[in-house]
Amino acid sequence: MSLAASSGPPSRRHSRLTRLTRSMGLVIGLAVVVLMIVAALVAPWIAPFDPDDQDVLLILSAPDATHWFGTDAFGRDVLSRVLWGARVSLYVGFVATALGIVIGSAIGIVAGFYGGLIDRAVSASTDILLSFPQLIMGLLLVAVLGASLTNLIIAIAITAVPAFIRMARSSALAMRERDFIDACRVLGYSDLRIMAVHILPNSLDELVVMASLWMASAIRTESTLAFIGLSVPPPTATWGGIVREGFDNLLDAPWLALFPSLAILIVMIGLNMVGDGLRDATDPRAAT
Amino acid sequence: MNAPLIVDGVTTSIRLDGQRHDVVRDISFQVAARETLALVGESGCGKSMTALSIMGLLPAGIASVSAGKIIVDGIDMVAADETVRESVRGNRIGMIFQEPMTSLNPVLPIGFQVGEALMQHQGLSRSAARAKALDLLEHVRIPSAARRLDDYPHQFSGGMRQRVMIALALACGPKVLIADEPTTALDVTIQRQVLALLADLQAREGLAVLLITHNLGVVASVADRVMVMYGGDVVESADVKDFFARPTHPYSVALLAAMPRIDATEGPQPIPGQVPSLDAMPSGCRFQSRCHLRQDVCSTLPPLKPVAGNPGHQVRCWMRGDT
């Protein structure tokens, strides 16, 4: 009996099992994220109360059958606020990441494709931007621009751009030397066409994986900024803002900070599972 | 009518450490419609540089055509600006490569890749380009082409991919085709099929084919004329029959002797030494460092002159040809 025959089937079964659990992670993560997005979209219809409606008779009441997540210091329903807060937090995370990926990959692909002076200038600026911690950078930008929804998105997008530049650049750099790019030149395709039609789709899987991880990080940054009062001004509900309000009453009403924190946690875990799952699914080495 | 491809006195130079080296020296030839000219020589002899010069794809800032004219289907590729060259490439001149495995974009379906050239050069709509792409794939005899339009390159074998590359190169109906080692990466049986397909398409479309190869067997079976290059110089130029009947330049003779033959009593004879590096190129005849006929006169570059009253057979050697 040969060694290969005896070791073959179990390892194959093992790899199939690990692949299955990996794709399970992707499915669960995707389900969590989609559920959150749907909840945010239909918040106006499913939220049991108006998120800004104050009920002075029911201040800081504990979770019960009417107010599942309790009420806050103004007597507002926490469940409704968490649902409405999801709209802001997810919107900021999604739009900021989308802006980051579009701007970052455009600049990165151009830099990687042309190389030379453009590349050196872009790489140097990217390095400088990346040397700032994301939160400090976001803080600085919001402080300069002023706290509003648009400025928040711009600030978080700017923190995401350098990372996408770097990834798209390295991808374009490797792609530039491939034979099929030479074939494109021989066919008389313009540089723009080569970059948009031939290099971008080849880099897309990497960029999408990174986008899902960055969206988690954008949501975290938004929440942190909201926590220190640099997000959309009150009374608009955002997750970080609700945690901040709950922080003041942490000992009397822990549910106030608990539920929005859980929401942030669950979305971040979900997005990370999606990112990891996508990475494994698109990594050719994982398939063997 | 002028030949679709005219190369007239072209010298291509590259700059290395501030020094100019001629990698192609004063090369002239024409390829007529339906004709196949084979460019032969070992690695580093200037074959690919000649092809890149014709396509206008020399690496910018490093290499350039420093003298001469290249006319592709009536358009001067040396004088033209980049926009004009882009409109010529893939449209009036096609090119296929040695490596069909890596010359197609792995993430795009082949139907789109073939159609893309038509969208770019002929302004076809996506659906019209798709229909034409199907025609082209049937033309290059891809079995059940209609079902395979949406397949990706990894679903094709090497021979099939080379057929796709040929369809792509010929999509816009060019007058000139440059085939750079088109069969080197393929099995011998597939080589035969691809060469037969090329010959067939050439006859049908009236293509002028410039075949770049180091495989003299391929030359003997498909070429009309042969040009042997060494160190950037054309050292011999002849009709394919004359070339194999009377190889004249010492390098041509050595090349043929280096080829294994089924009817030979002795094994192949390798050519001693290798092509000198650019900064070590001897002045005069560049083959002198490996030539057993070397004389003092060889340090002056010999002209290309006819052999024994046959004006179609030219050789660049002081020791051979008419004196």
Q: What is the DSSP string of B147-176?
A: HHTT--GGGS-HHHHHHHHHHHHTTT--SE
**Contact status, residue A161 vs residue A100, Cβ threshold 8 Å:** yes
With an 8 Å Cβ cutoff, are B102 and A202 in contact? no
Question: In angstroms, what separates the C-alpha of A3 from chain B's closest C-alpha?
Answer: 32
Does residue B73 surpass a pLDDT of 60?
yes
Say how many CA atoms lie within 13 Å of B168 toward its Cβ: 31
Instruction: Tell me the residue type at B179.
Output: A
Task: DSSP letter for B215, please.
Answer: -
Give the Cα separation of B11 and A241 in Å (integer): 71
For residue B15, give every residue at least 6 positions away whose Cβ sits within 8 Å of its Cβ, in sequence order, or none.
B21, B62, B63
Give the Cα separation of A63 and B160 in Å (integer): 68
Give the Cα separation of A101 and A214 in Å (integer): 10
Q: According to the model, what pLDDT value does residue A22 have? A: 66
Does residue B323 surpass a pLDDT of 90?
no
**Contact status, residue A278 vs residue A26, Cβ threshold 8 Å:** yes
Give the orientation angle of helix B158-169 with respect to helix B126-139, to 10 degrees.
120
Give backbone dihedrals phi and psi of B30, rounded to 5 degrees, phi first: -130, 145
Q: pLDDT confidence of B321, banded at 50, 70, 90? A: low
In the structure encoding, which two tokens stand for residue A265, read together? 């946690």
With an 8 Å Cβ cutoff, are B90 and A188 in contact? yes
Nearest to A178 among B94, B102, B116 (CB): B102
With an 8 Å Cβ cutoff, are B106 and A202 in contact? yes
Among B80-89, B156-165, B179-188, whose mean pLDDT is lowest? B179-188
What CATH number belongs to A15-47+67-287? 1.10.3720.10
Question: In angstroms, what separates the C-alpha of B191 from chain A's closest C-alpha?
Answer: 20
Nearest to B121 among A188, A198, A204 (CB): A188
Contacting residues of B for A202, CB less than 8 Å apart? 105-107
**Contact status, residue A157 vs residue A99, Cβ threshold 8 Å:** yes
Q: According to the model, what pLDDT value does residue B317 have? A: 87
Does residue B121 surpass a pLDDT of 50?
yes
With an 8 Å Cβ cutoff, are A190 and B102 in contact? no
Contacting residues of B for A184, CB less than 8 Å apart? 105
CA dihedral B136, B141, B146, B148 (to 10 degrees): -100
Give the Cα separation of B79 and B71 in Å (integer): 10
Q: According to the model, what pLDDT value does residue A2 have? A: 42
Q: According to the model, what pLDDT value does residue B36 have? A: 93
Instruction: Tell me the residue type at B174.
Output: P
With an 8 Å Cβ cutoff, are B121 and A201 in contact? no
* Check: complex ipTM more than 0.95: no
Question: In angstroms, what separates the C-alpha of A199 from chain B's closest C-alpha?
Answer: 9
Contacting residues of A for B117, CB less than 8 Å apart? 187
Instruction: Tell me the residue type at B236.
Output: E
In the structure encoding, which two tokens stand for residue B177, read together? 């085709």
In the structure encoding, which two tokens stand for residue B219, read together? 């030359």
Contacting residues of B for A171, CB less than 8 Å apart? none
In the structure encoding, which two tokens stand for residue B112, read together? 């789109």
Q: Strand pairing partners for B225?
A: B37, B239
* Residue-wise pLDDT tens digits, A240-280: 888 888 888 878 878 888 888 888 899 999 988 888 888 87
Give backbone dihedrals phi and psi of B28, rounded to 5 degrees, phi first: -135, 130
**Contact status, residue B50 vs residue B84, Cβ threshold 8 Å:** no
CA dihedral B115, B121, B124, B129 (to 10 degrees): -10
What is the average per-residue pLDDT within B1-20? Answer: 86
Nearest to A188 among B91, B102, B106 (CB): B91
For residue B142, give every residue at least 6 positions away whose Cβ sits within 8 Å of its Cβ, in sequence order, or none.
B148, B160, B163, B164, B167
Among B90-94, B221-225, B257-261, whose mean pLDDT is lowest? B257-261
A205 to chain B: nearest residue by CA?
B107
Instruction: Tell me the residue type at A198.
Output: H
Instruction: Determine contact: B208 vs chain A, CB below 8 A.
Output: no
Give the Cα separation of A113 and A235 in Å (integer): 47
Give the Cα separation of B279 and B292 in Å (integer): 22
Q: pLDDT confidence of B43, banded at 50, 70, 90? A: confident
Give backbone dihedrals phi and psi of B36, rounded to 5 degrees, phi first: -120, 120
First CA to last CA across chain A, in angstroms? 24
Say how many CA atoms lie within 13 Å of A5 toward its Cβ: 2
Q: According to the model, what pLDDT value does residue B270 have? A: 82
With an 8 Å Cβ cutoff, are A180 and B95 in contact? no
Between B321 and B259, residue with greater pLDDT: B259
Q: Decide: helix, strand or coil at residue B11.
A: strand
Give the Cα separation of B180 and B185 in Å (integer): 11
Q: How many CB atoms lie within 10 A of CB B127?
A: 9
Q: In 3D, which of B28, B31, B158 has the Cα closest to residue B93?
A: B31
Environment class of residue B123 by beta-carbon count within 10 Å: exposed (0-12), middle (13-18) or buried (19+)?
A: exposed
Contacting residues of A for B180, CB less than 8 Å apart? none
| Residue-by-residue pLDDT tens, chain A, 288 positions | 444 444 444 455 556 666 666 678 888 888 988 988 888 888 788 777 777 777 777 776 777 777 777 777 777 787 888 888 888 888 989 999 999 999 999 999 999 999 889 999 999 999 998 888 888 888 888 888 887 888 888 988 988 899 999 999 999 998 888 888 988 988 888 889 999 999 998 888 888 888 888 898 888 888 888 888 877 777 777 888 888 888 888 788 788 888 888 888 999 999 888 888 888 777 655 544
Q: How many CB atoms lie within 10 A of CB A65?
A: 5
* Residue-wise pLDDT tens digits, B218-228: 899 899 999 99
Instruction: Determine contact: A179 vs chain B, CB below 8 A.
Output: yes
**Contact status, residue B318 vs residue B295, Cβ threshold 8 Å:** yes
Does residue B211 surpass a pLDDT of 90?
yes
Give the Cα separation of B196 and B111 in Å (integer): 23
A179 to chain B: nearest residue by CA?
B103
With an 8 Å Cβ cutoff, are B97 and A179 in contact? yes
Q: pLDDT confidence of B266, banded at 50, 70, 90? A: confident
With an 8 Å Cβ cutoff, are B85 and A201 in contact? no
Preceding peptide of B260 cis, ω within 30°:
no
pTM assigned to the model? 0.79
CB burial of B39-65 (b: ≥16 within 10 Å; e: otherwise) equals bbbbebbbbbbbbbbbbbbbeeeebbb
Environment class of residue B144 by beta-carbon count within 10 Å: exposed (0-12), middle (13-18) or buried (19+)?
A: exposed
Instruction: Determine contact: B105 vs chain A, CB below 8 A.
Output: yes
Question: In angstroms, what separates the C-alpha of B89 from chain A's closest C-alpha?
Answer: 4
* Residue-wise pLDDT tens digits, B268-282: 888 888 888 887 888
CB pairs under 8 A between A and B: 62
Instruction: Determine contact: A247 vs chain B, CB below 8 A.
Output: no
Mutant choice from B103, B112, B126 vs A, greatest count of A C-beta within 10 A: B103
Q: According to the model, what pLDDT value does residue B38 have? A: 93
